[in-house]
Amino acid sequence: MNITKDLYGTSLSLLTDLYQFTMAYGYWKTGHLNKEGVFHAYFRKHPFKGGFTVACGLDYLIDFLQNLKFSADEVAYLASLNGSDGKPLFEEGFIDYLRDFKFSCDIEAVAEGTVVFPNEPLVRVKGPILECMLIETPILNIINFQSLIATKAARLRLSAKDDQLLEFGLRRAQGIDGSLAASRASYIGGCDATSNVLAGKLFGIPVKGTHAHSWVMSFDSELSAFETYAEAMPNNCVFLVDTYDTIQGVAHAIEVGKKLKAQGHELNGIRLDSGDLAYLSIQAREMLDHAGFESTAIVASNDLDEYLIANLKNEQNAQINIWGVGTKLAASFDQPALGGVYKIGAVKENKDSHWKYKIKLSEQLIKVSNPGIQQVRRYYYPDGQCMADMIFDEIEELPTKIKVIDPSDSFRNKRIPDYTEYEDLLQPIFKKGDLVYKRPEIKEIKERVAQQMSLFHSGIKRFSNPHIYPVGLEESLYDKKSALILMHKNEE
């Protein structure tokens, strides 16, 4: 499935901020078509006050980039835009340029499902600066959101441990594709299934669901509602028991469960959607077990998040096997946006000239961007666990003795022992605009998350005051950055 072709019926090439076009026009108009740049998309802080982030969204982005061209219709729209004097913003020559536009950048990115950290480029774009800019906003739109949701799902997976985890967020998600992309990222991050049928079909995610309160209310009694459902779908019976009175509802489910059993079927589960989930699940478990339904699952939903699940499981002994999570996951309720940014690291006048390194200053050190053509190297302990990540300049030779320095606190630094195993996280995705990456299946991406999560110390995975995994700039890149800061400060 190709997202921009199969999901969207319109070209998405205009899915960007207008200023990307006005800047592109600026370069075109003033003879800077050959100016090249390198940009990095990264975030500065983990979401949810957490200690890790799961990169996600690359597959959507690849589709977007493969379809990046401007149709007659699109250029006509751009040609219709006017400036403050009522005259066209763009000259016809630029419109012609866009009509013949062919995307030609090199793109490196971290594989979907990789655990990543602040300041690490998730996507690196190198090429004509005009092109780098046009794709800034879609990169951020896609990667920010799906990484946010995959991270939230990974946190839910941590709290649910080996229980089933279902994503039920469609009705509260932010728009149509807000829901679809959330279902995809939730599955990748740790959910087992979604309620969203279209997401199931588009992405190959398992779908789950049985019935709502309205089913019960549309019959004269709860018992007859359960009986009718069991008659229709004896192989899919999870009864929602809280429409009127939960304990009564469990009794009705058991009554119908006995009939199912007599017919050779199973009572798959009951679902609790309100009330005291700990108390009710314990009561329900006892009633079910007592009636011989030891393998009938107890599903819970109702504004669940990772904290509530952990609390119900660990503190309250709730007897819940399957967790349905909606709003808190699909709309990432406690932090609905990841603040990813896209900053220029270097620029050159044309492809044959030298790179000039660039930083964006800020009064806050954390907001000063890193210069260079960055790559991320992940070092491993002999047992395969992750040791530290290093952001380094790919076009400079590395010293023999490696030292990484925390860019926001130079006293935090770490020597990497010689001969330490490592892996470079940014992989080639596009070369001169052509896709060179073998896109993994969604299942492989999901498995990668689980595997990645196992490579990190549990300290980074706890919810309160997580351990800060060491990530720093390679020493010579750190020095270059410091020199650039000083140069700008002296100019003031």
Q: Which residues in 77-116 contact a copy of itself (CB under 8 A)?
A: 77-78, 81-85, 87, 89
- CA nearest to 415, candidates 402, 406, 425: 402
In angstroms, the CA 329 to CA 150 distance is 9
To a copy of itself, the closest distance from the beta carbon of 422 in angstroms equals 31
Least separation in angstroms between CB 402 and a copy of itself: 29
CA distance 340 to 359: 17
User: Which one, 39 or 379, has the nearer CB to a copy of itself?
Assistant: 39
Task: Give the one residue of 93, 96, 161, 231 binding a copy of itself; rule: CB under 8 A.
Answer: 231
x/- mask, a copy of itself, residues 340-379, rule CB under 8 A, reads x-xxx--x----------xxxxxx---x------------
The answer to whether 35 contacts a copy of itself (rule: CB under 8 A) is yes
Least Å distance between CB 134 and a copy of itself? 10
Q: How far apart are CA 366 and CA 480, in angstroms?
A: 16
**Distance separating alpha carbons of residues 416 and 38, to the nearest angstrom:** 27
- Helix H or strand E segment including 24: helix 18-29
* Candidate list 34, 66, 71, 236; residue touching a copy of itself; CB under 8 A: 236
Q: Rule CB under 8 A: say whether 229 interacts with a copy of itself.
A: yes
Q: Is residue 491 a contact point for a copy of itself (CB under 8 A)? A: yes
Residue 197 touching a copy of itself (CB under 8 A): yes
Residue 330: which residues within 8 A CB-CB, separation 6 or more?
149, 167, 168, 169, 170, 172, 173, 178, 179, 182, 183, 186
Residue type for position 17: D
236 contact partners, CB below 8 Å, separation of at least 6: 210, 268
Torsional sign, CA 269, 270, 273, 275: negative
Q: Is 232 in the site for a copy of itself (CB under 8 A)?
A: yes
17 binds a copy of itself (CB under 8 A): yes
Among 34, 67, 71, 137, binds a copy of itself (CB under 8 A): 137
Q: Write down the residue that tokens 């008659």 correspond to.
A: 231
- Binding segment (CB under 8 A) for a copy of itself, from list 212-220, 282-290, 411-419, 468-476: 212-220
Q: Does 163 bind a copy of itself (CB under 8 A)?
A: no
Quote the CA–CA distance of 86 and 105 in Å, as a whole number. Answer: 34
Residue from the set 53, 114, 179, 374 that interacts with a copy of itself by CB under 8 A: 179
Alpha-carbon distance of 161 to 157, in angstroms, equals 6
Contacting a copy of itself within 374-403 (CB under 8 A)? none
Q: Strand 269-272 vs strand 297-300: parallel, antiparallel, or unpaired?
A: parallel
Task: Tell me the sheet residues that pair with 388.
Answer: 379
Q: 118 or 275: whose CB is closer to a copy of itself?
A: 275
Give, as ranges, the residues between 265 and 324 that touch a copy of itself (CB under 8 A): 265-266, 268, 274-275
The least distance separating a copy of itself from the CB of residue 157, rounded to whole angstroms, comes to 21
Q: How far apart are CA 191 and CA 322, in angstroms?
A: 11
- The type of residue at 56 is C
CB of 225 to a copy of itself, least distance (A): 9
19 binds a copy of itself (CB under 8 A): yes
Residues 413-452 touching a copy of itself, rule: CB under 8 A, are: none
